[in-house]
Amino acid sequence: MFQAILLDQANGRPEGFTARLTTLDEASLPPLNEGDVTVAVQYSTLNYKDGLALTNKGPVVRKWPMVPGIDGAGTVLESRHADWRAGDAFIHNGWGVGETLWGCLAATARLKGDGLVRLPTAFTPRQAMAIGTAGYTAMLSVLALEDQGITPASGEVLVTGATGGVGSIAVALLSRLGYQVTAATGKSAQSDYLRALGAAAVMDRAELATPGKPLQKERWASVVDAVGSHTLVNALAQTRYGGVVTACGLAQGMDLPGTVAPFILRGVTLVGIDSVMAPRAKRQRAWDRLARDLDPALLEHMTEEVPLSAALEKAQQLMAGQVRGRIVVRITA
């Protein structure tokens, strides 16, 4: 028997949605054809997608009932996969878990071995979940900038949604790598927090959040955008000739109400960042770089830990914009 959060919809209708902490047995886990590695989850986390699922504010869950939690870290209990053995330490991010496959807000989970990444020796399971999909996505964005030839000497980097999980870790990573980072946020009270992470400047997100001109004064050599919509369009319009922008989120919206002007007149590159279905080699590269480049002390500065029993309440706070940085969910004592 193990504890888990279980989501369900009575009669398949949104108004019948329930979310509760409950006790399940191993027989209720997905069949082995859906997951060939059974794991003990020590820590999970709450990402924006988890918040949508736990509060039923977005169509994240596609199969009911569902154990949410797209991230998990712990140890392998039993494996039918050639790459994994009992006792191995793992990280899991994405791959449809918490959407179509049962996830990691549970003490026991059954996952696909192809979707697991080895826990770097530099991190504990708790630290890995303080990073989670948010931090792994931030690292994918940094790697994309590097792969496109962006260096600290290229110029200013803008990070939008900077007090969120992706934004906080992007600020910490980029500043430690020597970039001059400007953090955009709607939470002016968090300026000291962002500067502690390494931001050289903090700007009000309102400057980017409304419709603007197709081309604006050139400022940014590169951008890490976790917001989308008008914010992304304005960031593109302000990016310098030959600059690079990564798109990895949609906190403001999924729309892209802009023009092709930045691309055809300034040669700006827009790179999409997918963390859900990225191949394992790309994931491992990101985690290995996180182990090298992320300051554990800064990671602790941006992390709040809650027990599994408090995850539902914390998800409500997350969706209300009352959370900064990362939330780690302690699954087992």
Same domain, 171 and 250: yes
> In this predicted structure, what is the pLDDT of residue 15?
75
Residue that finishes a domain, picked among 232, 250, 272: 272
Range list of H helices, the chain: 48-55, 125-147, 165-176, 191-197, 229-237, 261-265, 280-293, 296-301, 311-319
pLDDT at 299 over 90: no
The pLDDT, as a whole number, for residue 325 is 82
Residue 58 has pLDDT above 70, yes or no: yes
Higher pLDDT, 324 or 226: 226
Report yes or no on 113 lying in a domain. yes
Q: Quick one: what percent of the chain has pLDDT higher than 70?
A: 99
Average pLDDT, the chain: 93
Query: Using CA atoms, how far apart are residues 67 and 73, in angstroms rounded to an integer?
Result: 16
End position of a domain, from candidates 228, 252, 272: 272
Residue 105, SS3 per DSSP: coil
Please compute the mean of the pLDDT values over residues 176-187 and round it to a whole number.
Answer: 95
What is the domain-level CATH number for residue 317? 3.90.180.10
* Both tokens assigned to 43: 């820590």
Domain that holds residue 77: 2-119+302-330
* Any domain includes 34: yes
Segment 20-50, tens digit of pLDDT:
999 999 888 988 778 899 999 999 999 888 9
309 shares its domain with 242: no
Assigned domain for 247 exists = yes
| pLDDT of 12 over the 70 cut | no
| pLDDT tens for each residue of 211-225 | 999 999 999 999 999
d(CA 22, CA 13): 21
Q: How far apart are CA 142 and CA 181, in angstroms?
A: 12
For 45, 163, 325, the CA distances from 304, given in Å and listed in that order, are 10, 13, 8
**Is residue 154's pLDDT more than 90?**
yes
- Read off the tokens for 239: 């990016």
Within 8 A by CB and 6+ apart from 310, the residues are: none
Do 69 and 189 fall into the same domain? no
Is there a single domain that holds both residue 29 and residue 83? Answer: yes
Question: CA-CA distances (angstroms) from residue 170 to 43, 221, 317?
Answer: 22, 15, 22
The verdict on 214 and 143 lying in the same domain is yes
In percent, the amount of the chain with pLDDT more than 90 equals: 80
Tell whether 249 and 324 lie within a shared domain.
no
Q: In terms of domains, do 218 and 257 share one?
A: yes
Flag whether 293 is in a domain: no
Q: Is residue 51 part of a domain?
A: yes
Q: What is the pLDDT of residues 229-262, one digit of tens each?
A: 999 999 999 999 999 999 999 989 999 999 999 9
Residues 264 and 317 in one domain: no
**How would you list the strands of the sheet with 201-204, edge to edge?**
201-204, 181-185, 157-159, 220-225, 239-247, 269-272
Cis ω before 68 (30° cut-off from 0): no
Check whether residue 54 and residue 86 sit in a common domain.
Answer: yes
Residue 278 lies in a domain: no
Residues 11 and 102 in one domain: yes
Joined tokens for residue 245: 């922008």
Question: What average pLDDT does this structure show over 309-315?
Answer: 95
The answer to whether residue 218 is domain-embedded is yes
CATH number (domain holding residue 157): 3.40.50.720
Inside any domain, residue 277: no
Model confidence at 333: pLDDT above 80: no
Residues 69 and 145 in one domain: no
pLDDT range class, residue 298, cuts 50, 70, 90: confident
107 and 237 within one domain: no
Amino acid identity, residue 205?
R
Number of domains present in the structure of the chain: 2
Return d(Cα 160, Cα 162) in angstroms, integer: 5
Peptide bond into 65 cis (omega under 30): yes
> What is the mean predicted confidence (pLDDT) over 181-200?
93
pLDDT on residue 276: 87
